[in-house]
Amino acid sequence: MLDKISHKIVPTFNQKVELSGTFAGEPFVFSVTLLGQQYPQYLILGLGYQARWEKVLPAIKESENLRLKLISDEGEMIAAHVSLIHATHFPEKLLFMSYPEQGIARSLRQSPRVGIDYPAQLQVANHFPYINGSIVDIGRGGMGFETTQQLPSMMSDLCDRDVKLHIGRDDQQRWSLSGRIRLLQEHRPNVWHVGIKCELSVAECEEVLYHLVSHQNAIDRLINNDQSNDSYSNNTLQV
């Protein structure tokens, strides 16, 4: 049964939302910004300046079952079907999406877990070098970290230790989160799983989650790390 969600969509400063669907048989997820709305006609979504417009737009326009997901100010995960009404790429890349009246609204669990795969480094006081690995899940209560790095010499020292988790890819480090190790076990042969407790607010969890999920998706790479100036000859496109 669908919920009435129109009153729950309240744009806040630089609020990140997720557009997902299927294009040419391949799933995609784009992280965009909810800039505003004209109730009950449309939502205004913004793309980054590096977005490859000629590849992003067809995916959004021709997607099967295009969905919008966001986290409300009340901490609810909201999901609804939307469609593209209008798009323009000058002076800003904007998408005007249908305003959803109904959808699904679910309260986040106290410690929701979302599976991801993103490079990170674990810093333990008095231990050097850092432990290289990946974040494998995230929730408001903390994160799961996995590494294939050999740990025997420091194992007895790690449990309940204060640590810092440096999240980033190469020089694009974006966050350093403080936490405490609550779990350490050999999850699979030569793969150590480290459970890290770090209380995150709804806003912090949303920011980290959207960044990690959007950057691990293969199709979403189309709108990242691209310096191309190619664009459509027309400044606007009515669909």
Report the CATH number that the domain containing residue 156 is assigned in CATH. Answer: 2.40.10.220
**Would residue 195 count as lying in a domain?**
yes
- Integer Cα distance of 78 and 205 in angstroms: 15
193 & 153 share domain: yes
**Would residue 239 count as lying in a domain?**
no
100 & 168 share domain: no
pLDDT at position 55 over 80? yes
Look up residue 25 and give its two tokens: 């048989």
Look at strands 76-81 and 102-107 and give their pairing: antiparallel
When the pLDDT of each residue in the chain is averaged and rounded to a whole number, the result is 76
- Is 60 strand, coil or helix? helix
User: Dihedral of CA 150/153/159/163: which sign?
Assistant: negative
101 & 172 share domain: no
> In sequence order, what are the beta bridge partners of 165?
122, 177
The answer to whether 123 and 159 have CB atoms below 8 angstroms apart is no
The CATH number that applies at residue 90 is 2.30.110.10
Look up residue 93 and give its two tokens: 């890349």
pLDDT (0 to 100) of residue 43: 94
- Parent domain of 169: 114-200
pLDDT at position 65 over 50? yes
Q: What is the mean pLDDT of residues 26-54?
A: 88
Nearest-CA neighbor of 69 among 31, 14, 97?
Answer: 31
Report the percentage of the chain scoring pLDDT > 70.
72
**Would residue 159 count as lying in a domain?**
yes
124 & 71 share domain: no
Look up residue 38 and give its two tokens: 């004209």
Band of residue 3 on the pLDDT scale cut at 50, 70, 90: confident
pLDDT (0 to 100) of residue 49: 76
7 & 43 share domain: yes
Cα angle, residue 98 at apex, residues 86 and 10 outer, rounded to 5°: 115
**Would residue 11 count as lying in a domain?**
yes
pLDDT (0 to 100) of residue 228: 41
pLDDT at position 214 over 80? no
Tokens 């810093």 map to which residue? 123
pLDDT (0 to 100) of residue 223: 40
Final residue in a domain of this structure, among 78, 107, 136: 107
Look up residue 77 and give its two tokens: 């995960």
Final residue in a domain of this structure, among 107, 136, 162: 107
* Residue 190 CA to its chain's centroid (Å): 29
- Integer Cα distance of 202 and 73 in angstroms: 9
**Would residue 213 count as lying in a domain?**
no
Please indicate, yes or no, whether the overall pTM of this predicted structure exceeds 0.75. Answer: no
**Would residue 39 count as lying in a domain?**
yes
8 & 61 share domain: yes
Q: What is the mean pLDDT of residues 109-135?
A: 77
Look up residue 178 and give its two tokens: 């403080």
Q: Kindly report, residue by residue over 173-210, the tens digit of the pLDDT.
A: 567 888 888 877 776 777 888 888 887 776 777 777 76
Final residue in a domain of this structure, among 73, 107, 141: 107
pLDDT at position 96 over 80? yes
